[in-house]
């Protein structure tokens, strides 16, 4: 008979295996150093991080829960059990532990992501009272097969109309340029179908720290379009390659509402893809879209992207009374 118990995670002992599980089970390319850096950055807001192990000390799964930087938003949680260890009650043990920790921390809502190709994971969350908030679909482009020549005429036409295609690197990555990027990124993100007008950052200073100060931030991959007649930043498309990833990632593409319908989104995204092919040493580009963002999904399909694994965003209210304590060990 095997005894399964929980203990606090130890970054030096456990984060190598946790990084592997994030990469395999969440479609999130993760390295041990990157996970440790993320842990240190968010440590003040992490209220539970525990691993399940057997009597031999083998790590079987883990939970991880972090308060949002926004006071009015749910805490985000992960719960992953090694595939070979599922069906033994380990997930239930980890979830009960996580929910109790959330209640002790006076967290009122939990948010979790479940891959849309994992019906067992979705059923696990459904049984515990989570409801679907949104669906993010994955899309992937084969850069080797991507033919960007048909877009030359569109880009030339827009340039003739007075639009400048450039990047934050070409603009010197100055604070002024970063402020313009922040304003455009925040506005277009809030207007994305399915976003419900939710802000992405607390302030410009938050954006500067979380984005411009991140190790994945590449000024040359922050492509923008400027209306030279007015100085208005009309569109953007940001792309990068995360550490440990074998593909580039489209972070965000957006166009000021005053300039929509002129194919600016297609043009600036093509510029970002050209940068990825020339500078990021990748064969594929990945991205995610809210399933309600039909205009951007249509553009990506036109460019040649194909749909891949996505993620359900699920939420649960914890307004009910505090549940009884559970035993921290089970036999299996």
Check pLDDT > 50 for residue 328: no
The pTM of this model reads 0.89
**Domain 147-303: which CATH number of 3.40.630.30, 3.20.20.140, 3.40.50.1980, 3.90.550.10:** 3.40.630.30
The model's confidence at residue 320, banded by pLDDT at 50, 70 and 90, is: low
CA distance 276 to 220: 10
Residue 51 has what DSSP assignment? Answer: E
The model's confidence at residue 325, banded by pLDDT at 50, 70 and 90, is: very low
Average pLDDT, the chain: 93
CA distance 73 to 282: 35
Same fold, 3-135+313-331 and 147-303: yes
Q: What is the pLDDT of residues 185-194, one digit of tens each?
A: 999 999 999 8
Residue 26's pLDDT is: 83
Check pLDDT > 60 for residue 172: yes
Residue 327's pLDDT is: 39
Check pLDDT > 90 for residue 256: yes
Average pLDDT over residues 4-20: 96
Report percent pLDDT > 70 for the chain: 96
Residue 324's pLDDT is: 44
Q: What is the pLDDT of residues 193-204, one digit of tens each?
A: 988 888 999 999
Check pLDDT > 90 for residue 321: no
Structure tokens at 274: 């050209």
Residue 195's pLDDT is: 86
Tokens 């603009």 — which residue?
A: 171
Beta bridge partners of 311: 115, 136
Positions of E strands within the chain: 3-8, 46-53, 59-66, 75-81, 109-115, 131-142, 163-167, 222-227, 233-240, 248-255, 284-290, 306-317, 329-331
Residue 197's pLDDT is: 87
Q: What is the pLDDT of residues 263-310, one digit of tens each?
A: 999 999 999 999 999 999 999 999 999 999 999 999 999 999 999 999
Q: In degrees rounded to 5, what are phi and psi of residue 62?
A: -155, 165
CA distance 75 to 108: 8
Residue 301's pLDDT is: 97
Domain boundaries, the chain: 3-135+313-331, 147-303
Average pLDDT over residues 202-219: 96
**Domain 3-135+313-331: which CATH number of 3.30.70.100, 3.30.230.10, 3.40.630.30, 3.40.1010.10:** 3.40.630.30
Average pLDDT over residues 150-178: 98
Average pLDDT over residues 174-195: 96
């Amino acid at each position: 008979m095997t005894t399964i118990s929980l203990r606090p995670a130890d970054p030096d002992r456990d984060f190598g295996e946790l990084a592997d599980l994030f990469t395999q089970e969440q479609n999130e390319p993760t390295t041990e150093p990157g996970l440790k850096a993320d842990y240190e950055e968010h440590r003040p807001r992490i209220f539970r991080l525990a691993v399940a192990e057997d009597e031999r000390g083998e790590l079987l799964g883990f939970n991880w829960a972090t308060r949002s930087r926004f006071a009015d938003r749910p805490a985000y949680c992960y719960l992953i059990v090694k595939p070979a260890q599922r069906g033994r009650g380990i997930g239930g043990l980890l979830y009960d532990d996580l929910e109790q920790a959330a209640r002790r921390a006076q967290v009122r809502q939990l948010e979790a992501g479940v891959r849309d190709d994992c019906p067992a994971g979705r059923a696990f969350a459904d049984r515990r009272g989570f409801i679907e908030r949104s669906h993010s679909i994955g899309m992937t482009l084969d850069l080797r097969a991507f033919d960007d020549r048909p877009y030359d005429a569109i880009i030339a036409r827009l340039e003739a109309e007075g639009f400048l295609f450039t990047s934050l690197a070409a603009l010197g990555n100055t604070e002024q340029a970063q402020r313009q990027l922040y304003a455009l990124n925040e506005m277009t993100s809030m207007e994305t179908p399915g976003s419900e007008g939710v802000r992405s950052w607390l302030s410009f200073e938050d954006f500067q720290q979380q984005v411009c100060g991140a190790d994945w931030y590449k000024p040359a991959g922050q492509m923008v379009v400027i209306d030279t007649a007015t100085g208005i930043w009309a569109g953007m498309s940001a792309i990068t390659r995360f550490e440990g990833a074998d593909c580039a990632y489209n972070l965000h593409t957006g166009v000021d509402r005053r300039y929509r319908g002129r194919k600016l989104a297609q043009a600036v995204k093509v510029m970002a893809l050209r940068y990825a092919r020339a500078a990021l040493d990748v064969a594929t580009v990945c991205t995610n879209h809210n399933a309600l963002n039909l205009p951007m999904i249509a553009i990506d399909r036109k460019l040649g992207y194909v749909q891949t694994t996505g993620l359900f965003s699920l939420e649960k209210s914890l307004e009910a009374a505090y549940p009884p304590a559970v035993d921290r060990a089970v036999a299996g």
